[in-house]
Structure 1
Amino acid sequence: MKKPVYMDYAATTPVDPAVADEMMKYLTLDGVFGNPASRTHAYGWQAEAAVEAARKQVAGLIHADPREIVWTSGATESDNLAIKGAVAGRQGVHIITSKIEHKAVVDTCKWLEHQGTDVTWLDPAADGTISCEQVLDALQENTVLVSLMLVNNELGTINDIAAIGAELRQRGVLFHVDAAQAGGKMAIDVGSMPVDLLALSGHKVYGPKGVGALYVRRSPDVQIEAQIHGGGHERGMRSGTLPTHQIVGMGKAFSLAQSGLEEEIVKLEALRKSFLAGLQSLDGVSLNGSESNRVPGIVNLSFDGVDAESLMLGLRDLAVSSGSACASATVEPSYVLRGIGLSDEQAHRALRFSFGRFTTEEDVAFASSQIVDVVSRLRAVR
């Protein structure tokens, strides 16, 4: 059976072969398989050294101090640790987020809301952005945290995190940023982009699933309460035996992303242009998100007169999605698309196409031709 052309890089990326090769060195008896917390023998020392080397590699991609990197099981845990950890034990406090954040943030904030935390849910602009003015207008005397994503996972839209962060830093309000879709897709510098907590994911950057990191600013020191207890690992912020092979894989993936970032952005811009050019013969195609203020690898499109479910069934030779992988079990229209003002009918006509490092010009040419054929056929039988 022929494999479908993969156009769902926003859901997950394949592990880069160089990453897989590196990971294999940390699994078996003839490799570095020890527990990084074992301080009494060479197996543990070698594993700890590998973990710390990877910590430097992850820190390097976002220009952080390695001591500011806390290992987690992924961006979902990082988001939970950041938000719950910042609010834990504080009564009568207020936090701000938006209605189109990733479910890891939305559901965490809803949980806190049920616990008595006051939450303001900001409405995005039609292109999926949250403005600095919106955030400032929503601030209250008891606001302790703002949580916004850097790149929207369904639209690819970029928020002006630097401007928002600068204003919040002046006011002493903690700023958490979900950067899972931004890592390896755009430049991130936590020095010029003043954030306090930033979530990262391994499997969005050609690394393994099941590993992520949370950047926790050290100067001035940000304090968060641990959500997992049992051993005091990661400077007391996240207990649990560290998976050396996954951490090494994430470090290698982030190192590759840093060295090839500019080249990859150029490539993805070219692929995006070719993909959209191949759809020009179709009428009634609209872009959801921003034309310019976005990363290149995510394209969310609505097709007039065609529902996404029927279109996906027709596109059997393409792997695409109708939205976030974390919400794919529901038949409800995307809350992100509804959040930017689309009707349920319009949202039901949308598909997300995302491409990456291993996508070729032939792939996007094939994809666009398939879309034109299937959309035209479905419209003809309406």
Structure 2
Amino acid sequence: MKYFDHAASTPPHQDVVQTIAEVMERHYGNPSSLHRAGEDSAKLLRRAREVCAQALSVQPGEIVFTSGATESNNLAVKGAAFQYIKRGKHIVTTTVEHPSVYEACRHLELLGFEVTYVPVQADGRAAADQVLQSVRKDTVLVSVMHVNNETGSIQPVEDIGRRLKAEHPRVLFHVDGVQGFGKVPLALSESGIDLYSLSAHKIRGPKGTGLLYVHSGVKLFPQLSGGGQEGGMRSGTENVPSLVGMAKAFRLAKDASEANVRNWRLLQSWIVDEISGIPGLVLNSSAEAAVSAPHIIHFSYPGMKPEVLLHCLEDEGMAVSTKSACSSKISEPSRILLAMGKDRETASSGIRISLGDEHTMDDAKELIHALKAAVQRLNGLKGGMK
């Protein structure tokens, strides 16, 4: 099976697997315990935090470990909203955020907060001017993702962050960086970003592990109460083996970033050109470096259920996805594509291809060969049904 669904989850790096296994076997002490076994685990935890901080060029004390991006995003959005509720009850985000941000905002609306959902352009990107114009005196948080998990569109978060801090220094800025780290450069310290979410299993690390960068001086209302771990922001015994594995995955991803991006851009450009020449398919993403992340290609097959094409490709040994993994089992048009102005037929037939560091041009050629054969066969079925 050729696996082209890295935006959903990545195969763990063998070095990461070995590291996790070793830590699980040798260092099982609770890092909060005072005996030697506990202190050994605490040392590993401190080192993991340092490695993650180095990968992001931030301070170790600004790293909060979580169970993954969903928790990180909820902690950022709800934690900021409740912590600074006396400043106001208004939040600014976009119409194309990941469900863990979008639904968190919807939840806050039920609790009396007001949310402005900034629309996006046809390329899936929000205009920085429109985001900034949505900020009010009672705005406490702006949340804009770096790279869209469905289409790969890159949001102008650096421009938004710098201008937000210059014009509204008290408003916090959160960025969901899950699909951007290791793929699209971003300097946290220079972009006015206060909160930044990441997930390990998107970069060949373990599932159920992530982090939230919290800029020094920013406080969050905890979503979990308990023993006060993670500086009181996230109680619960830390998953030391997975966190150590995550740290290794972040270091490996950063070290390989430049080479991976060069390869992905080459493959992405070729795949996009090939798809644009297949009758019946409609591209929803581009290969422009300023517009789209290098590892995601998204297209639609109007008039055909996406799962039909997905399973045809699977029969040919190719694994791709429909929508994002969090929404792929929901038989509704893509909220993201609708927000981009696509019609319901196009928004209901999206397919995502996402690349990994193991892919070669030969793999891309096999994928396109299978795609052309599948579409030709399905076009024949569509014609026969008319």
Superposition TM-score, scaled by structure 2 size:
0.94
Which residue of the other structure, out of 40, 64, 69, is the alignment partner of 1:46? 40
The alignment status of 1:64 with 2:44, answered yes or no, reads no
Letter matched to residue 117 of structure 1: F
Residues 110-140 of structure 1: CA deviation (Å, up to 9, x unaligned) = 0000000011011111111111101111111
Which residue of the other structure, out of 301, 305, 312, is the alignment partner of 1:314? 312
Which residue of the other structure, out of 219, 226, 248, is the alignment partner of 1:223? 219
Match of 1:7 in 2: 4
The answer (yes or no) to whether the contact 1:55–1:69 under 8 Å persists in 2 is yes
Match of 1:302 in 2: 300
Q: Which sits farther off after the overlay, 280-289 or 345-354?
A: 280-289
What pairs with 1:167-246 in structure 2 (closer than 5 Å)? 167-170=163-166, 171-172=168-169, 173-218=171-216, 221-246=217-242
Match of 1:85 in 2: 79
RMSD after superposition:
1.4
Letter matched to residue 340 of structure 1: M
Taking the aligned partners of 1:309 and 1:174, their CA distance within structure 2 comes to 40
The alignment status of 1:34 with 2:32, answered yes or no, reads no
Residues 233-264 of structure 1: CA deviation (Å, up to 9, x unaligned) = 11111100001110001000001011111111
Taking the aligned partners of 1:140 and 1:174, their CA distance within structure 2 comes to 13
Residues 151-196 of structure 1: CA deviation (Å, up to 9, x unaligned) = 0000111111111001211212100110011122122321122200
Letter matched to residue 137 of structure 1: Q
More helix by share: 2
What pairs with 1:107-118 in structure 2 (closer than 5 Å)? 107-118=103-114
Q: Structure 1 residues 131 and 280, CA, compared in 2 at 3 Å: closer, same or farther? A: closer
Q: Structure 1 residues 186 and 7, CA, compared in 2 at 3 Å: closer, same or farther? A: same
Q: How much has 1:288 moved relative to structure 2?
A: 1.0
Q: Which sits farther off after the overlay, 314-323 or 74-83?
A: 314-323
The answer (yes or no) to whether the contact 1:10–1:298 under 8 Å persists in 2 is yes
Taking the aligned partners of 2:180 and 2:113, their CA distance within structure 1 comes to 28
The answer (yes or no) to whether the contact 1:321–1:352 under 8 Å persists in 2 is yes
Taking the aligned partners of 1:24 and 1:158, their CA distance within structure 2 comes to 36
Taking the aligned partners of 1:149 and 1:281, their CA distance within structure 2 comes to 31
Match of 1:340 in 2: 340
The alignment status of 1:371 with 2:371, answered yes or no, reads yes
Letter matched to residue 38 of structure 2: G
Taking the aligned partners of 1:68 and 1:257, their CA distance within structure 2 comes to 20
Which secondary structure state, in structure 1, belongs to the residue aligned with residue 299 of structure 2? Answer: strand
Taking the aligned partners of 1:132 and 1:62, their CA distance within structure 2 comes to 24
The alignment status of 1:22 with 2:19, answered yes or no, reads yes
Q: How much has 1:305 moved relative to structure 2?
A: 4.8
Taking the aligned partners of 1:361 and 1:249, their CA distance within structure 2 comes to 30
Q: How much has 1:290 moved relative to structure 2?
A: 4.1
Taking the aligned partners of 1:194 and 1:131, their CA distance within structure 2 comes to 17
Match of 2:49 in 1: 55
The answer (yes or no) to whether the contact 1:54–1:251 under 8 Å persists in 2 is yes
Q: How much has 1:296 moved relative to structure 2?
A: 0.8
The answer (yes or no) to whether the contact 1:276–1:368 under 8 Å persists in 2 is no
Taking the aligned partners of 2:109 and 2:303, their CA distance within structure 1 comes to 39
The answer (yes or no) to whether the contact 1:95–1:119 under 8 Å persists in 2 is yes
Letter matched to residue 58 of structure 1: C
Residues 82-131 of structure 1: CA deviation (Å, up to 9, x unaligned) = 11111116265100011110000011000000000011011111111111
Structure 2 unaligned spans of 5+: none
User: What is the total number of aligned residue pairs between the two structures?
Assistant: 374
Which residue of the other structure, out of 109, 123, 138, is the alignment partner of 1:142? 138
The answer (yes or no) to whether the contact 1:69–1:214 under 8 Å persists in 2 is yes
Taking the aligned partners of 1:128 and 1:200, their CA distance within structure 2 comes to 21
Structure 1 unaligned spans of 5+: none
Which secondary structure state, in structure 1, belongs to the residue aligned with residue 201 of structure 2? Answer: coil
Taking the aligned partners of 1:62 and 1:303, their CA distance within structure 2 comes to 38
Taking the aligned partners of 1:291 and 1:206, their CA distance within structure 2 comes to 24
Q: Structure 1 residues 249 and 135, CA, compared in 2 at 3 Å: closer, same or farther? A: same
Letter matched to residue 31 of structure 2: P
